[in-house]
Amino acid sequence: MDEFDLIRRFFRRPAVRSQTRFGVGDDAALLDPPPGQVLAATVDTMVAGVHFFPDADPAALGHKLLAVNLSDLAAMGAEPAWALLALALPEANPDWLSAFAEGLFALAGRYRVDLVGGDTIRGPLTLSLQALGWVPEGQALRRCGARPGDGIYVSGTLGDAALGLKMLRGELGWRDETAVERLLRPRPRVALGLALRGLAHACIDVSDGLAADLGHILTASGVGAVLEWESLPLSAAVRRYVAETGDWRLPLSGGDDYELCFTLPEAAARVLQQRLPAGAVAWHRIGTIQIEQGLSIKKGGKAIPLPPAGYCHFEYDDK
């Protein structure tokens, strides 16, 4: 079986979008973004032994590889449309490829994403995906617009993926399947990103940890922020972990949550409430943007400075 057979067998599916002129099978895909829209493009890579365990479930990997890219598009307020895949595989294992494709296409189908290009080669297991989408002229969510007085909000709950990783590593005496699932199959907040168009002053997805990612908003916007520990949305499992270990920084530093962190003026928060459909992901105010630079958190009446540390790929040796 050569690479062309591989690509044909597992990754060539009929396009679901009318804007897909031509997908896999020529020198390049031909795509037709609607007029009046700006194209959003992002790429994310996952390496065995660095970003996932080498024996990880291939269906979960297919899901996550697409999810982390859709999360980037959601953080721009972009509607996802297309993906291109670059797969390096140690061997052409049909079972692995079939499960990987199943996980990827299940999520792609939910958001009407067409896989329009691919490159499958032999090499150390490395998964790279590039996603394209669009956002109406002038409505993209950037990192640089946060203003003093804005509320700081975050979707879902924080720290679950980092807790799930500790569980998979056997560092805890207990296990919570929801936390593990958050690590293995993150859910991109696409609907929330679309609802934030024209409302959020700044937005980012939480991939490297809340403190690090909010730090990018603060730097880009030239402002500071104060968070409130008691307002952080935490799952029962993370609450238990914090209570048992005293490690209250996990929800601030843990990566891989893929929630959205955004800033809104007061009035916009009320509009967002009305825009979001019933059953949409919850979102909570966790702090306030201020003029003074830096990031700190109020906890038990004290203000504690938070250095802008987060998940760092080149210093993170034992994942």
Residues of this chain that bind a copy of itself (CB under 8 A) = 1-3, 6, 21-22, 25-33, 35, 38-45, 47-51, 72-73, 75-76, 78, 82, 84-86, 88, 92, 116-124, 126, 128, 130-133, 135, 140, 142-143, 203-205, 220, 312-316
User: Could you tell me the smallest distance in angstroms from the CB atom of residue 204 to a copy of itself?
Assistant: 6
User: By C-beta, is 22 or 292 nearer to a copy of itself?
Assistant: 22
What phi and psi values does residue 241 have, to the nearest 5 degrees? -60, -45
For residues 202 and 297, which CB has a smaller minimum distance to a copy of itself in the complex?
202
Q: Is 5 annotated among the ligand-binding residues?
A: no
CB nearer to a copy of itself: give 151 or 215: 215
143 is in an annotated binding site: yes
Is 42 marked within a binding site?
yes
DSSP code per residue over 161-211: HHHHHHHHTT-SS---HHHHHHHHS----HHHHHHTTTT-SEEEE-SS-HH
Least distance CB 75 / a copy of itself (angstroms):
4
CB of 241 to a copy of itself, least distance (A): 26
Both tokens of 270, joined, read 């009320």
Is 213 flagged in the annotation as binding? Answer: no
Q: Is 72 annotated as a binding residue?
A: yes
Q: Which of 110, 115, 131 is nearest to 39 (CA)?
A: 131
- Structure token pair of residue 103: 């996980």
Cβ closer to a copy of itself: 122 or 270?
Answer: 122
Phi, psi of 99 (to 5 degrees): -65, -40
Closer residue to a copy of itself (CB): 75 or 234: 75
Q: Are 154 and 233 in contact (CB under 8 A)?
A: yes
| Residue 27 counted as an annotated binding residue | yes
CA distances from 20 to 69, 83, 114, 191, 248 (A): 19, 11, 8, 22, 47
**At 274, phi and psi to the nearest 5?**
-75, -35
Q: Are 256 and 158 in contact (CB under 8 A)?
A: no
**Residue 57: CB minimum distance to a copy of itself, A:** 20
Cross-strand pairs, 261: 154, 204
Least distance in Å: CB of 284 to a copy of itself?
21
Q: Which is nearer to a copy of itself, 27 or 266 (CB)?
A: 27
- Shortest Å, Cβ 50 to a copy of itself: 5
User: In whole angstroms, how close is the CB of 109 to a copy of itself at the nearest point?
Assistant: 20
Confirm whether residue 119 is marked as ligand binding.
yes
Sorted by sequence, the CB contacts under 8 Å of residue 116 that are 6+ apart come out as 15, 20, 22, 23, 24, 29, 31, 82, 83, 84
Three-state DSSP at 286 gives strand
Nearer to a copy of itself, 62 or 234 (CB): 62
Binding residues for ATP: 118-119, 143, 207
Binding residues: 27, 42, 44, 51, 72, 118-119, 143, 205, 207-208, 256, 311
Binding residues for substrate: 51, 256, 311
